[in-house]
Chains A and B, each alone.
Chain A
């Protein structure tokens, strides 16, 4: 793939818009929201990221990553026009057909908005199929919020209810959003659980605190979805690295319901 465009979202966080180097392959490529791929810098290695763009957008895919290690550092050193490798799509998908006719509540924290951004846009591009859409998104500080332009776009839409928050101490003088940890803000916002699907993504600690809040608000475990991450290498269920108990995150996930997670051993 080659890098068609790039955006700096937050300190250390960048989005790539990737075009297919081979047009024929690009035309054949299809994926479903929730799936991921392995992106590589030839010479540095591979890294696993979700596909952060919606499948409704043809001709390109996007990924968002934070510079944290060897491969992501090499990715950040690349320029527009440079070539990277991609293999995918792997994994399962968000079952958005099952959610038709329902309200959707998306809850994300920090760098975990990218996996949800794909499904948010997929649902917004099919807006008529869903009832109320609420997005609750928070980060450590204002600067750490990603997709700042899209947040403005979602905020301006009349058919989306957006709540943004930063951790206490992370606000700037002109911050107009909420101040508080995401699980607390979810509790305050108190989305109605009737006929509603909740989709949550965040660092393990945020998920661990948000799931009980949703349960308290009346969300049944099979109506709460999340997407998990684990260290991956092959992405196809062979190398034996990403399993949580019996479940391979790369093959049987990364999308799981809270009910499925409750049956997994506490090993993630």
Chain B
């Protein structure tokens, strides 16, 4: 289904969503930082950025969440499973790269058994994506097979066609139902061919050349070279829409507590450390290798999908100015490739 949405109708849109019982999450500007968060008014929405500081990941896979609560009374334990964590919401203003992370992550969260915390939120949240009309030098979605106006993962795609107007295309049944629910907010689609304003994202590397190199180079001095300046802060894993490693810990008092699932990251030293002190990934080079291998080889072998959407957040946020697309460019091209060194 195709429709038209005018910026002047944002007010009615947000009011309409509230009336239909949706919580609305949208990009909100605070100084220079644009963050996806819950909004109450249309005037909080900001859409003139390249990409938000946070990805949509945290709305499906929160930074921290209770997976079990318990009370302890004289050696009797009562357990309670959490309910009501999946709140009917609309994310208005996701980017295509973020939206695509959802079907990618669906694979691991449904592998053999389903993670109900992920699945129930996926059902409760509708994604309205706004195609990118501009990009910056960190973007590389086209290098991983995506595009600034890609539809996969979205329920509705909005594409700018003038200063005030967006072409509205429904992608899924869920998206179509949402547009029908708020019919009065939208107007008829434009006649003729709309002038879609979509950014041109320069391709930085050939993804087809990456995995074959990774298959043969588990041992290579490049891993230490790439990660030499990495301080293991883990920021890259936190801002990444497809990083999903987590920790499970108990937080409690003497009589009650919660078992909690928290974001974790493979870049931390402790991530794989055994209680004995043995650490299969004891150097930052090994941990950096795991990051690249997981995203561009292991996930591909297991789930037939790259675990990266080319959003570039990891490189933007890195305090040591490490850049993943530069590394992938080195890996995938013949020139500038470091000499292989057999290393124990």
Residues of A at under 8 Å CB distance from B? Answer: 40, 42-46, 68-69, 72, 81-83, 85, 203-204, 229-231, 233-234, 236-241, 243-246, 251, 265-268
Contacts and interface: CB of A to CB of B under 8 A. Distances in A.
Which of B219, B276, B280 has most A Cβ within 10 Å? Answer: B280
Nearest to B300: A246
Given A245-B298, A267-B281, A233 B108 contact: no
B246 A237 contact: no
Contacts, number: 94
Contacts of A69: 275
Nearest to B301: A246
A83 B75 contact: yes
Given A44-B250, A82-B75, A231-B274, A238 B280 contact: no
**For the complex of A and B, 10 pairs with smallest distance between CB atoms:** A240-B245, A69-B275, A43-B252, A246-B298, A68-B275, A45-B250, A265-B218, A233-B248, A239-B246, A268-B280
19 contacts: A42-B77, A43-B254, A44-B250, A45-B250, A46-B259, A69-B275, A83-B77, A203-B276, A230-B272, A231-B272, A231-B274, A233-B247, A234-B246, A236-B113, A238-B246, A239-B248, A240-B266, A241-B266, A246-B301
A234 B108 CA distance: 13
Interface string B251-291: 01010010100001010000111111010110000100010
Chain B, interface size category, equals 35 or more
Interface of B: 70, 72, 75-77, 108-109, 111-113, 115, 218-219, 244-250, 252, 254, 257, 259, 264, 266, 271-276, 278, 280-281, 286, 290, 293-294, 297-298, 301-302
B76 A83 contact: yes
A42 B286 contact: no
B280 A244 contact: yes
A72 B274 CA distance: 13
Contact of B286 (A81, A236, A238, A267): A267
A69 B249 CA distance: 14
Contacts of A243: 294, 298
B120 to A, nearest CB: 15
B272 A241 contact: yes
A71 to B, nearest CB: 9
A69 B218 CA distance: 32
Contact of B280 (A72, A203, A267): A267
Contacts of B246: 233-234, 238-240
Contact of A241 (B250, B264, B293, B301): B264
A243 B108 CA distance: 13
Contacts of B286: 267
Contact of B250 (A40, A68, A82): A40
A209 B72 CA distance: 46
Nearest to A46: B248
Contacts of A203: 276
A128 to B, nearest CB: 35
B272 A42 contact: no
A44 B77 CA distance: 14
Nearest to B270: A231
A208 B39 CA distance: 57
A238 B247 contact: no
Contact of A237 (B70, B112, B259): B112
A119 B271 CA distance: 30
A239 B247 contact: yes
A17 B285 CA distance: 43
Contact of A45 (B244, B249, B266, B273): B249
Contact of B108 (A230, A238, A245): A238
Nearest to A45: B250
A146 B266 CA distance: 35
A204 B257 contact: no
Contacts of B294: 240, 243
B109 A246 contact: no
Contacts of A229: 274
Contacts of B266: 240-241
Contacts of B264: 233, 239, 241
A234 B41 CA distance: 40
A44 B219 CA distance: 38
Contacts of B259: 40, 46
Given A44-B250, A46-B248, A233-B246, 14 more contacts: A40-B259, A42-B70, A69-B275, A85-B77, A231-B274, A234-B248, A238-B109, A239-B245, A240-B294, A241-B272, A245-B293, A246-B297, A246-B302, A251-B112
